[in-house]
Structure 1
Amino acid sequence: MKILKTYLKLFIIVSLFIVSKNIQAQQISNEEINAKIDSILPLLTLEEKVAMCHAQSKFSTPGVGRLGIPEVWMSDGPHGVRGEINWDDWGYAGWTNDYITAFPALTCLASTFNPDLAKAYGISVGEEARYRKKDILLGPGVNIYRTPLNGRNFEYMGEDPFLASTMVVPYIHGVQQNGVAACVKHYALNNQELWRGHINVEVSDRALYEIYLPAFKAAVEEGNVWSIMGAYNQFRGQHTTHNEMLMNKILKEDWAFDGVVVSDWGSTHNTKEAALYGLDMEMGTGTDGLTTSTQNAYDYYYLANPFLKMLKEGEIEEAVLDDKVSRILRLMYRTNMSVNRPLGRINNQEHLDVARKIASEGIVLLKNENSFFPINPNKEITIAVIGENATKSLTIGGGSSELKAKNEISPLEGLKNRYKKATIIHAKGYASGPSQYARVVEPTDDLEQLKKEAIEAASKADVVLFFGGLNKNHLQDCEGGDRQSFGLPFGQDELIDEILKVNANTGVILVSGNAVEMPWIHNVNALMQTWYLGSEAGNAMADVISGDVNPSGKLPFSFPKKLTDNAAHSFGENSYPGDSITQYYKEDILVGYRWHDTKKIKPLFAFGEGLSYTNFEISKVATAKKAYTENEQITISATVSNTGDFNGSEVVQVYVGKSKSKVERAVKELKGFQKVMVKKGESETVEISFNVKNLAFYDETISDWNLEKGGYVIYVGNASNHISKEIKISIQ
């Protein structure tokens, strides 16, 4: 029997080795994929090829059964795989096996300033998408944070194109190593939800190339992303999903994108433009207004029967169709026709650990007077936990990125898990109503009673933790509508003021994907900006509040003191939100901290800002030399010393500005960063490099990038408003 078991083990090992070798041998190159595509195209009828270019259900496109070509299945993301949707309508299918791990929102990921975590995020969510048998995960989002009223900012990676570019590439790599296509969205200039379906954006070429396109370009050229989603809005009078300049000229010609362009759901508006201007796969269209009830409704799509008719009549060449089908087949060979595709995993401890790590590392400490945080978990104290966001589920809601989490640890639950010796009392304090995507539902609570209970709880406590902010209801952080005011909703400002009257030892923990106005900021002891943190939200918050994790998050966007301090809003309604037909990006390239620095408008909290429980000093900042030529790398070295009492991580940030430029420039722009962990009492050396070519501006007079010669200033610090050293260099 023992010999039999030994032979059996040997057989399994040899078999696995043979299978592994066969899989490696079966991996095919792009040239072989192209050859296979060329051999398949002649076998397909015109009708079959057209059918592959449009949906057959809410989230799938048809294959060709007679040739063994599979369907393409996709799911909303990017913070987790959305619950299963019905075939023909937006209702949930009621599955019991589609619960997933909810990962933190991408604002949180961006605030980690940690590309390694972006890779771990992508791998984990990609594994869950693969387990759910999805071929395309509809995310990540990289639209630039232009206004704090945009309801969808929580899905994006902040206001800086370099930060978004740096974080999106490893996320894509992580997802796609699972044989699942990432689908970067929303290409491009979808920077508000109000009137998103038709608003026409007018923006300069320079702002387009320098601010709004770099993250998409990085996704294509460095991330090798396999699909991209068009946006709803128009750009220069043409819808972006089938926009000749964006799709054909920039994406497919200049960047040589070889993947599939997927429409956003309902963002297609014209058959001929969709055919000729870059759209490959049309989803979610309601062309006849009766999509959910008309038989064979998907045949009424723009890239369905109307497309077929134009092809048959010779109005559109078949080569146009063949290019689309070639791209779709290429995506299939990378995903559902790949021979070495892994099986995926879901709801495992490793994914929860990744979610918790990202959440805790993304939390940003913005104020901490009298060392309010951390709060010792071993002290016998009374903690008043006040606020609806301490208990409200924040994985549901928000629109298409809502999640069906297997578990969600609330902040209150997380604190109770960690503070076993403390007496924790909770009062809701305010109410927002149930989570809704497309409408506001008023709360049924007795609001005056909630306020009274909160004040009473605060008066009895040694310390007050107020969990407020926004949530993922309509007209807050939610798809389909923008916020209608900059202040906190539901009477939170007034409630905080009343709490402070009975207990000055109060710290505020904001949960949001956006900046908010803070009239009470000078009166509270501490402020923590948290995000929508997913399954492990409460545990991650308790990790940071207790000091188990030293906060190291940095803001990925600026917090203005008042709304008109924001660049987009400073120019009035023509800039945001527009006149319902057109809007003009009058701030041009001066987005976020670029605006605050250049116009000398002090923000409430600056881009890149974030405190720690320890103290860091950045010293010995140097470059190898002071003069460079066009093709050289600039390397900045610095020493980071931890002079406090906690081990911790700091983010060294490198900005560059051009003095005496022939064009308007921001005072400085982020060009590099590195996160480094330094033990207390110790020092670490970091080196941050970038190419001289990255200092070029987009010159509209030549429609190309232009590197100015002359003097530049390198700024090194730990926030855009906290610079430790300036170094002058020249480009010759």
Structure 2
Amino acid sequence: MKHTLVTLFSVMLLTLTSRSLAQEPLPVYLDDSQPVEARIEDALSRMTLKEKIAIIHAQSKFSAPGCPRLGIPELWLSDGPHGVRMEFVWDDWNHADWTNDSCTAYPALTCLAATFNPDLAFRYGNAIGQEARYRKKDIILGPGVNIYRTPLSGRNFEYMGEDPYLSSRMVVPYVKGMQQNGVAACLKHFALNNQEKNRDNINVEVSDRALREIYLPAFKAGVQEGGVWAIMGSYNKFRGQYCSHNEILINQILKKEWGFDGVMLTDWGSAHDTDEAARNGLDLEMGSWTNGLTWGVSSAYDNYYLAQPFLKKIESGELPESLLDEKVRRVLRLCFRTNMNRNRPYGCKLTPEHTEIARRVAEEGIVLLKNENHFFPIAPGRYQKIAVIGENAVKRLSEGGGSSELKPQKEISPLEGMIEKYGREHIVFTLGYASGAPNYSNELPSGLDVDSLVQEAVKVAREADVVLFFGGLNKNFQQDCEGDDRRNMDLPFGQNELIERIIKANPNTGIILISGNAVSMPWLSKVDGLIQSWYLGSQGGPATANVISGEVNPSGKLPFSIPVKLEDNSAHYFGEESYPGVNGTQYYKDDILVGYRWYDTRKIKPQFPFGYGLSYTTFRYGKARTDKKNYTANESVKLTFTLKNSGAKAGAETVQVYMSQKKPSVLRPVKELKAFKKVYLQPGEEQVVELEIPVQSFAFYDEGLGDWKLENDKYTLHVASSSRKIHSTATIEVNN
């Protein structure tokens, strides 16, 4: 009887308690119906000082702890920007060796930029966001938008080329596509990380004008147009202060001027001082006491600059708690956008749609650079024996390279793609050269005999009807790899000499270069066919074979200029003070004249210009016309012209519009890209192309004013198929 009464009392108590709990309103911070800013303030008011300190620094290599007592989840981060990186063990750089952490490997961002297709950038970002969400990631560390200043930079393949306008137009849809999945994009590396050599300590001195016109526009677009939720600092210094806690870059420009309301976080190991980190805008500290790649101090998280040292300075009164509160607000805002957003989708991975997007980006990004005597396309049946020579036809190029390494579920090599397209009986392969395994400290020998490889390649070439050499760079250290730059522009591992011998054995040779950087081409005049390919990810093989065979008409355009020799490049023209720097400092003596701006203004002919790319069809441009002749600053120019596919094959042309000012009061480049559009046309089809160009985009940054200045003057708009191929022009006048 006693047991029955106790049980009955317990049930009644539980019922009353449940009813009471059901009627009690949720805390504001847990109530989705409340405004986000109110939820942030409510959560902040409930946190202890130690909980607030904990939430702004890492607890493992790729996570931050949240606030368990209040139910605020951990934040989980993963490297990008070309896919979701494999898992790591909690406290070091060893791979966790999970069986379920594979991904779709998407083409590198140089390839995405070469598509000149913002719609594809949106689909690309969305696909990675879906895979990241499925893998329970809250932040993807990408995309990268640093400017291609030197062809030696080890991380150029992770970025979007040399032009700030192109980078801006491609990064905004990438960010929007990713973040619609409730996964934060993290723009990197803010800012001026334009080389890997001495990246941990190099101090960059650059004019305000070059900073604003060349190196910051893509970041600004990502913030103000893309609404990006996170930004990663760079390793280098700017004007003597590390960029991850830089008063000018973060407090003045990013947060005050641009209105960025997201989280500013470190690259792994880029924080250096508690006071500067506290005062100069750093919100989340990840990976201190590591080089970001291979080594670190175990379990150091409580000793981070924004951990116990920051706490002690607040408790002693050296630093105000208000600095901490502002950082916590931003981290909480990120949580409400990501892991506390109950409406975000669940994500998916390795879908047929992801495969299709990876292949489509690869196909549209491949650039046909030379095609004499109709070397390409090589239709199936045209040749009985096709020699495929070169390590890059088989090397797994999603491996290595630094933090962008991936573990694709499937990576189809160019050789596999060629065999599938042409049949195994028509393809003969030999390695030709060997580079060794990817690593981050030095070049490991492959263990193969170089002379034997060369002799076999020459023999195979001599006996084939046509030779396709797959070479270029790879993800080995001091190639396209994080942590250092290339030593020169030459092809590594004896490729130039090998190419010369192959051409001598069989002049019917075409070259497919796979790289994220420009290379020297001493053999160029001796080959009829040349393709610039990229790190194409999971679908590299089918995409490459589709372009070579003609099933896909190439439409990629170069996102950077290829110089004849290194000294022609703007960063190298001025010597070591400009690159790589002297006594810890480098001066950007090329100023605003970067990339095609430099080659055009200095009248230096590049090997291949920015925006250049051939097709298997031809296009005819009509006369450019504007809707009127006189404009004010708040208007947009409506520019129209006709474009006709005058060839026999369906194809796409990226039309480009450059601007020139007639009589500027300051030095201006000969021309600057202001608009582009990719147009798809059937054979014989003609289309009226219309582009709107804001007049305000003609302004330059006036250092005296500390603001943008649009001068009354005549401006010429150049309709072009590359920075060096102008088809039509129209002149307008601006009167404010």
Matches within 5 A, 1:141-160: 141-160=144-163
Indicate if the aligned counterparts of 1:291 and 1:298 stay in contact, CA closer than 8 A.
Answer: no
Corresponding residue number in structure 2 for 1:346: 349
The alignment's TM-score, normalised by the length of structure 1, stands at: 0.95
CA separation of 1:349/1:199 partners in 2, compared to 1, >3 Å: closer, same or farther?
same
**Is 1:264 matched up with 2:305?**
no
Note the alpha carbon deviations across 1:97-148, whole angstroms, 9 max, x for none. Answer: 0010000000000000000000000010100100110000000000000000
Runs of 4+ displaced beyond 6 Å: 287-291
Indicate if the aligned counterparts of 1:379 and 1:422 stay in contact, CA closer than 8 A.
Answer: no
Note the alpha carbon deviations across 1:649-702, whole angstroms, 9 max, x for none. Answer: 001100001111110000000000000001001111111112111111000001
Corresponding residue number in structure 2 for 1:5: none
Corresponding residue number in structure 1 for 2:734: 731
**For the residues of structure 2 that align with 1:73 and 1:187, how far apart are their CA atoms?**
21
Note the alpha carbon deviations across 1:615-661, whole angstroms, 9 max, x for none. Answer: 00111311111111111011111111011110000011000011111
**Is 1:239 matched up with 2:238?**
no
Indicate if the aligned counterparts of 1:287 and 1:300 stay in contact, CA closer than 8 A.
Answer: no
SS of the counterpart of 2:162? coil
Indicate if the aligned counterparts of 2:161 and 2:167 stay in contact, CA closer than 8 A.
Answer: yes
Note the alpha carbon deviations across 1:147-194, whole angstroms, 9 max, x for none. Answer: 000000000000000000000000000100010000000000000000
SS of the counterpart of 1:498? helix
Indicate if the aligned counterparts of 2:510 and 2:529 stay in contact, CA closer than 8 A.
Answer: yes
**For the residues of structure 1 that align with 2:441 and 2:270, how far apart are their CA atoms?**
18
SS of the counterpart of 2:623? strand
**For the residues of structure 2 that align with 1:451 and 1:626, how far apart are their CA atoms?**
62
Note the alpha carbon deviations across 1:340-396, whole angstroms, 9 max, x for none. Answer: 011111111110100000000000000000101000113451000000000011000
Corresponding residue number in structure 2 for 1:511: 514
Task: Identify which range, 619-628 or 114-123, moves more after superposition.
Answer: 619-628
Of 50, 53, 74, the match for 1:71: 74
SS of the counterpart of 2:624? strand
**Is 1:423 matched up with 2:431?**
no
CA separation of 1:574/1:291 partners in 2, compared to 1, >3 Å: closer, same or farther?
closer
SS of the counterpart of 1:694? helix
Of 701, 706, 729, the match for 2:709: 706
**For the residues of structure 2 that align with 1:270 and 1:424, how far apart are their CA atoms?**
58
Indicate if the aligned counterparts of 2:93 and 2:295 stay in contact, CA closer than 8 A.
Answer: no
Letter in 2 for 1:464: V
Corresponding residue number in structure 2 for 1:568: 571
Corresponding residue number in structure 2 for 1:99: 102
SS of the counterpart of 1:620? coil
Matches within 5 A, 1:491-502: 491-502=494-505
**For the residues of structure 1 that align with 2:484 and 2:634, how far apart are their CA atoms?**
45
Corresponding residue number in structure 1 for 2:309: 306
Corresponding residue number in structure 2 for 1:327: 330
**Is 1:481 matched up with 2:479?**
no
**For the residues of structure 1 that align with 2:510 and 2:692, how far apart are their CA atoms?**
39
**For the residues of structure 1 that align with 2:621 and 2:723, how far apart are their CA atoms?**
14
Corresponding residue number in structure 2 for 1:441: 444
Indicate if the aligned counterparts of 1:378 and 1:421 stay in contact, CA closer than 8 A.
Answer: no
**Is 1:677 matched up with 2:680?**
yes
Indicate if the aligned counterparts of 1:138 and 1:184 stay in contact, CA closer than 8 A.
Answer: yes
CA separation of 1:698/1:27 partners in 2, compared to 1, >3 Å: closer, same or farther?
farther
Letter in 2 for 1:556: P
**How far did 1:446 drift?**
0.5
SS of the counterpart of 2:526? coil
Matches within 5 A, 1:483-562: 483-562=486-565
**How far did 1:439 drift?**
2.4
Matches within 5 A, 1:114-129: 114-129=117-132
Letter in 2 for 1:161: P
Matches within 5 A, 1:23-102: 32-102=35-105
**How far did 1:28 drift?**
5.7
Of 711, 721, 724, the match for 1:721: 724
Indicate if the aligned counterparts of 1:226 and 1:259 stay in contact, CA closer than 8 A.
Answer: yes
Of 644, 647, 671, the match for 2:647: 644
**How far did 1:420 drift?**
2.2
Corresponding residue number in structure 2 for 1:630: 633
**How far did 1:293 drift?**
6.2
Corresponding residue number in structure 2 for 1:18: none
SS of the counterpart of 1:39? helix
**For the residues of structure 2 that align with 1:288 and 1:688, how far apart are their CA atoms?**
45
Indicate if the aligned counterparts of 2:398 and 2:405 stay in contact, CA closer than 8 A.
Answer: yes
**Is 1:693 matched up with 2:693?**
no
Indicate if the aligned counterparts of 2:186 and 2:231 stay in contact, CA closer than 8 A.
Answer: yes
Indicate if the aligned counterparts of 1:381 and 1:421 stay in contact, CA closer than 8 A.
Answer: no
Note the alpha carbon deviations across 1:264-290, whole angstroms, 9 max, x for none. Answer: 000000000001001000001018999
CA separation of 1:103/1:287 partners in 2, compared to 1, >3 Å: closer, same or farther?
closer
Letter in 1 for 2:196: E
Note the alpha carbon deviations across 1:565-599, whole angstroms, 9 max, x for none. Answer: 00010000000000150000000000000000000
**For the residues of structure 1 that align with 2:655 and 2:383, how far apart are their CA atoms?**
38
**Is 1:316 matched up with 2:319?**
yes
Indicate if the aligned counterparts of 1:287 and 1:301 stay in contact, CA closer than 8 A.
Answer: no
Matches within 5 A, 1:594-673: 594-673=597-676
**Is 1:451 matched up with 2:454?**
yes
SS of the counterpart of 2:525? coil
Task: Identify which range, 688-697 or 178-187, moves more after superposition.
Answer: 688-697
Of 352, 360, 368, the match for 2:363: 360
Unpaired runs of at least 5, structure 2: 1-29
Of 175, 180, 194, the match for 2:178: 175
SS of the counterpart of 1:716? strand
CA separation of 1:380/1:521 partners in 2, compared to 1, >3 Å: closer, same or farther?
closer
**For the residues of structure 1 that align with 2:230 and 2:556, how far apart are their CA atoms?**
30
SS of the counterpart of 1:483? coil
**How far did 1:318 drift?**
1.0
The alignment's TM-score, normalised by the length of structure 2, stands at: 0.94
**For the residues of structure 2 that align with 1:69 and 1:264, how far apart are their CA atoms?**
24
Letter in 2 for 1:236: R
**How far did 1:315 drift?**
1.3
Letter in 2 for 1:570: Y
**Is 1:582 matched up with 2:562?**
no
Indicate if the aligned counterparts of 1:379 and 1:421 stay in contact, CA closer than 8 A.
Answer: no
SS of the counterpart of 1:330? helix
**For the residues of structure 1 that align with 2:32 and 2:610, how far apart are their CA atoms?**
44
Letter in 2 for 1:120: R
CA separation of 1:293/1:598 partners in 2, compared to 1, >3 Å: closer, same or farther?
closer
Indicate if the aligned counterparts of 2:289 and 2:297 stay in contact, CA closer than 8 A.
Answer: no
Of 272, 281, 285, the match for 1:282: 285
SS of the counterpart of 2:86? coil
Indicate if the aligned counterparts of 2:269 and 2:291 stay in contact, CA closer than 8 A.
Answer: no
**For the residues of structure 2 that align with 1:545 and 1:560, how far apart are their CA atoms?**
25
Of 109, 133, 136, the match for 2:136: 133
Of 406, 410, 413, the match for 1:407: 410
Letter in 2 for 1:90: W
**For the residues of structure 2 that align with 1:261 and 1:28, how far apart are their CA atoms?**
25
Instruction: Name the count of aligned residue pairs.
Output: 705
**Is 1:161 matched up with 2:170?**
no
